[in-house]
Amino acid sequence: MAAFVVGLVLSGCALAPGSSGTATSAGQAAAIALAQQPRFRGIGPFDANLIGQAAWYKVAGSGDGWEVVIRIGWGDCQAGCISEHRWTYLVRRDGRVGLTHEEGDALPTASGVRGTVRAGPTCPVERIPPDPACAERPVVGAVLVVNDAAGREVARVTTSAGGVFALDLAPGSYHLTPEPVAGLMGTPGPIDVTVEAGQPPSVLQISYDTGIR
């Protein structure tokens, strides 16, 4: 682990973006530190009883402020995570914040959802063993709409050659809804998707019904 380590010695700390100007509690200090990067959205406090917790933060008093450690892990986190990355922020009581230390594995390059869209069956009779000639076919031009937990549309994507799609999404809970495709009888229902901070994209396989029987 520890693919790189960056240590920063700060002579002064900048005011946190959007800060109210003070950090009088551990909770306020954590909120200021978590606001430093979009990738930290949705990260909660460390819970020793939570198995597979990939991302968390810890807060401890430090001089005239608070030290906030934020950790993102990925890769088999049920067993403790194969990889991880950590940031340490100093949040002063007057609201100033600075990154004092950063270390860990290189972060995943993207977070969101990707996958393939196919349609089947393509033969009127199911065959055992399966006939490769009757495999589901890619659906090109299918439109997938993504709404957040409040029902607001945040993105939409159209499948390209091979029926593939990819979307970068901020951490959070979403509903992905496939729209009807001309010539296909059955449209898949909405799919719940959870994007976790710092994690590789979720992979989906979506199937339309051709109506062939």
- What is the full per-residue pLDDT of the chain (213 aa) written as tens digits? 445 555 544 434 555 544 446 889 999 999 999 999 877 877 889 998 888 888 899 999 998 899 999 999 887 787 888 889 999 999 999 989 999 999 999 887 667 898 999 999 888 877 777 777 788 899 999 999 999 988 999 999 999 988 999 998 887 889 999 999 999 988 999 999 988 767 778 889 999 999 887
Residue 148 sits in the same domain as residue 187: yes
Angstrom distance (rounded) from CA 106 to CA 83? 9
Residue 100 sits in the same domain as residue 124: no
Angstrom distance (rounded) from CA 120 to CA 127? 13
Pairing outcome for strands 55-62 and 14-15: unpaired
CATH number of the domain bearing residue 199: 2.60.40.10
- Total residue count of the chain as it appears in this document: 213
Residue 38 sits in the same domain as residue 65: yes
Yes or no: say if 110 and 201 are a contact pair by the CB < 8 Å rule: yes
The domain boundary residue, chosen from 104, 124, 153 = 104
Beta bridge partners of 86: 71, 103
CA 26 to chain centre: 25
Q: What is the pLDDT of residue 5?
A: 54
Q: What is the pLDDT of residue 172?
A: 82
Beta bridge partners of 73: 84
The domain boundary residue, chosen from 51, 84, 104 = 104
Residue 116 sits in the same domain as residue 94: no
Angstrom distance (rounded) from CA 113 to CA 106? 20
Yes or no: say if 153 and 130 are a contact pair by the CB < 8 Å rule: no
Q: What is the pLDDT of residue 9?
A: 42
Q: What is the pLDDT of residue 65?
A: 95
Residue 95 sits in the same domain as residue 127: no
Number of neighbours of residue 192 by Cβ within 10 angstroms = 9
- CA distances to 120, 139, 155, 177 from 147, rounded to whole Å, are 26, 22, 7, 8
Residue 26: strand, helix, or coil: helix
Domain region containing 88: 4-104
> Hey, what are 156's tokens?
């939409």
Q: Is the whole model's pTM more than 0.75, yes or no?
A: no
